[in-house]
Amino acid sequence: MIIVGLTGGIGSGKTTISKHLESFGIPVYIADKEAKALMNRSKVIKRKLIKLFGKSAYKDEALNRPYLASKIFDDKALLEKMNAIVHPKVASHFKRWLKKQKAPYVIKEAAVIFENHLENQYNYIITVVADENLRIERVMKRDDTSKEKVESIISNQLSDEEKIKKSNFVIVNNDLDIAKRQVEKIHHQLLKISDQ
């Protein structure tokens, strides 16, 4: 089974593009969404996160995301410790999910691939890019957040140029219709590759 990574900076449109690929019958695994779900449902993760962050890691049985986000935002060591708890669980969940899929290829959407040097987990990688001002506007609207907050997240991520260099395919998502045409083209290329 061909595993295609789909990555890109905040607000570039990863999930939007994933949904379009899903409409062609391609299975999509959204790693960040599954990680959050596992952080809520896995007793082992819960126990370890409470040990790492204290009882405030959960509020009314649910993951206290704002608390965790505030703790890890400028503490790389803590973020790495959290990832060491969560990532292996997501990896084994993905493996089980993958076994059940019957498609020429699957998409795994992940915000961080290159940052964590995980490119060898994928056969191909698609990077979604969009102009920074558009990304800021979109995220401000979607998350009801400030320009400064989005800018500080962007400045913590690897640049588009770096990601493009390491990718097999790039989708420029400034205009949705144009981006959808690029997605269709890539989809057909991947079908051809998987048929060989």
CA-derived radius of gyration, the chain: 17
Nearer of residues 52 and 172 to ligand ATP, judged by Cβ: 172
Nearer of residues 46 and 113 to ligand ATP, judged by Cβ: 113
Could you give the angle at the alpha carbon of 90 between the alpha carbons of 99 and 65, nearest 5°? Answer: 145
How near is the Cβ of 173 to ligand ATP at its closest, in Å? 5
Nearer of residues 154 and 191 to ligand ATP, judged by Cβ: 154
The span from the CA of 160 to the CA of 48, in Å, is 34
Tokens 């995301």 correspond to what residue? 65
Which residues make Cβ contacts (< 8 Å) with residue 8, sequence separation at least 6?
14, 111, 127, 128, 129, 130, 160, 163, 173
How near is the Cβ of 114 to ligand ATP at its closest, in Å? 14
How near is the Cβ of 113 to ligand ATP at its closest, in Å? 13
How near is the Cβ of 47 to ligand ATP at its closest, in Å? 28
Binding interface with ligand ATP (CB under 6 A): 8, 10-16, 111, 138-139, 142, 173, 176, 179
The span from the CA of 147 to the CA of 96, in Å, is 39
Nearer of residues 71 and 135 to ligand ATP, judged by Cβ: 135
